[in-house]
Amino acid sequence: MDGNIKKTSGEMMSEEFVNDLNGDENIFKFDSNKINSGYPILNWQVEN
């Protein structure tokens, strides 16, 4: 096994997945405005 974990599209579009990506950092955001088709976005991509 190569250590990779497979995720479905639905799993990758969840807030839980965003939390997993971030760990102790705050790099990714949940794509609530669907600017990336629901997939996580980077903090700087959020419009202020």
25, 19 Cβ separation under 8 angstroms? no
pLDDT in tens, 1-41: 578 889 999 999 999 999 999 999 999 999 999 999 999 99
Tell me the pLDDT band of 44, cut-offs 50, 70 and 90.
very high
pLDDT band at 48; cut points 50, 70, 90: low
Structural domain includes residue 17: yes
pLDDT attached to residue 2? 78
Q: Is position 4 within any domain?
A: no
Burial (CB < 10 A; 0-12, 13-18, 19+), residue 22, is: middle
Cα–Cα distance, 24 to 9 (Å, whole number): 23
Domain boundaries, position 23:
9-45
Please report whether residue 28 resides in a domain.
Answer: yes
Domain count, the chain: 1
